[in-house]
Amino acid sequence: MINVFIFVFVAVLLFLTYVLCQQIKQQPRFQPRTKLDKSLDQQLLTMLGGDRQAALRLLRSACKNNPGRSYLWYHEKVIRDLSRDRRY
């Protein structure tokens, strides 16, 4: 009886692990090293005084808050938000 319980427990555990792996694979990934438009990269870095780490943080944050968008869209969003915040 205990062997059957252990077998069922292991089978359920393996199934749940498989389902979790499938869920992780379906999530969009952010790849900040992809360069699509150098002028947007340059504009963003200029706005941040050349702080590349801050640019990557802002891009990652935009990606996390707006999943499934293009890399170009994230750049435009960060630049638009920075411009908006500097007006006030």
Span 21-47, pLDDT tens digits: 888 888 766 555 555 568 888 999 999
Q: What is the pTM of this model?
A: 0.57
- Give the helix/strand (H/E) hosting 25: helix 2-26
The answer to whether the Cα torsion of 14, 16, 20, 23 is positive or negative is positive
Q: How many CA atoms lie within 13 A of 80 on its CB side?
A: 7
**Contacts (Cβ under 8 Å, ≥6 apart) of 83:** 47
Q: What is the pLDDT of residues 42-88, one digit of tens each?
A: 999 999 999 999 999 999 999 999 988 888 899 999 999 999 988 75
By CB atoms closer than 10 A (0-12, 13-18, 19+), residue 79 is middle
Where are the chain's structural domains? 2-86
